[in-house]
Homo-oligomer: A and B are copies of this chain.
Amino acid sequence: MNRTEDRPLALVDGHAHAWSPNNARTRFRAGLTGPTAGVAAGHTQANLIAVPADWAYDLVVFCQRNPKPCPVLDITDAGSFTTVLADGADLRTDLPRYRVWENGELVDEPTDVRGHWRDDLVSVLIGCSFTFEWALAEAGVPIRHLEQGRNVPMYTTGRQCRPAGRLHGPLVVSMRPVPPEHLAAAIRESSLLPAVHGSPVHCGDPSGLGIGDLARPDFGDPVDIAPDDIPVFWACGVTPQAAVMASRPPFAITHAPGQMFLTDARDEQFRVG
């Protein structure tokens, strides 16, 4: 069920960067799927994880205790499928693709979860590193996975998150190869956006994170690394999915990795400096 056939939407439609968030959500609601890197320039993208209300406290505390991978942008009331981050959006239909989990097992990857929805679900929206790619690009940093028409590569690391109640699991990271002359800008620009993972957690040798082979990501696509490029690792909002796999709550709904929720918020709202 690991889908790698989807090309980034920004390459499928050359105008995707100029879509409004509402326009993007309307397309996703109508069935369009694919990685959302490069879509709706300057607007904040978010990871989704929805769990039954009796797991919500553990999830929210897990996020607080692991703020680099899990910077929370919104928490809905139980059963609600709207969010203050996007006017008129429906969290059950407006993401390109979802993952449905039962007891930690992936059971479905639909484009609409109205049939799976439960009235006791609490949705947590978590900042996504696609958000800071605009800031990196504006600072001249090449975004290799977009250049190569691929989803960003994501890796499950050997680092354990700080647990919370029944929730535990490893840190997941996204990786972008950065030419040395752009490393300072990549770190500086992402640091100023802590709400979307902020500064990198690691640069260079992937073994420092317990990652064996960059050519075999756990989520997303492998990306070619130029000879001088330095692999730069940012904490990733797929981390709660890894916690779901490790901790096996009875039920959860998440986004499919790389296929994010487009909010109306602007990245600049989250910029601190």
Is chain A's binding surface mostly helix, strand, loop or mixed?
mixed
Is there a chain B Cβ closer than 8 Å to A223's Cβ?
no
- In the bound assembly, the distance between CA atoms of A72 and B66 in angstroms comes to 11
A64 CB–B CB distance under 8 Å:
yes
A77 and chain B: residue at smallest CB distance: B165
User: A272 contacts B194, CB within 8 Å?
Assistant: yes
- Partner among B57, B84, B199, B272 whose Cβ is within 8 Å of the Cβ of A56: B57
The answer to the question of A60 belonging to the interface, with a C-beta cut-off of 8 Å to chain B, is yes
| Chain B proximity of A21: nearest CB distance (Å) | 21
Given contacts A64-B72, A64-B75, A75-B64, contact A273 B56 (CB under 8 A): no
Task: Please report the C-alpha to C-alpha distance between residue A149 and residue B162 in the assembled complex, in whole angstroms.
Answer: 41
A interface bracket (residues with beta carbon within 8 Å of B) = 20 to 34
**Contact in complex: A192, B64 (CB < 8 Å):** no
**Interface set, chain A 181-228, CB cutoff 8 A to B:** 188, 191-192, 194, 198-199
Chain B residues, Cβ within 8 Å of A194: 194, 272
**Seed contacts A64-B74, A272-B272; 14 additional CB < 8 Å A-B pairs:** A56-B57, A57-B57, A60-B60, A60-B64, A61-B75, A64-B64, A65-B74, A191-B272, A191-B273, A192-B272, A192-B273, A194-B272, A198-B272, A199-B272
Seen from chain A, the residues whose Cβ lies within 8 Å of a Cβ on chain B are: 56-57, 60-61, 64-65, 72, 74-75, 77, 84, 162, 164-165, 188, 191-192, 194, 198-199, 272-273
26 sample A-B contacts, Cβ–Cβ < 8 Å, listed by A number = A56-B57, A57-B57, A57-B60, A60-B60, A60-B61, A60-B64, A64-B64, A64-B72, A64-B74, A64-B75, A65-B74, A65-B75, A75-B164, A77-B165, A84-B162, A188-B273, A191-B272, A191-B273, A192-B272, A192-B273, A194-B194, A194-B272, A198-B272, A272-B272, A272-B273, A273-B273
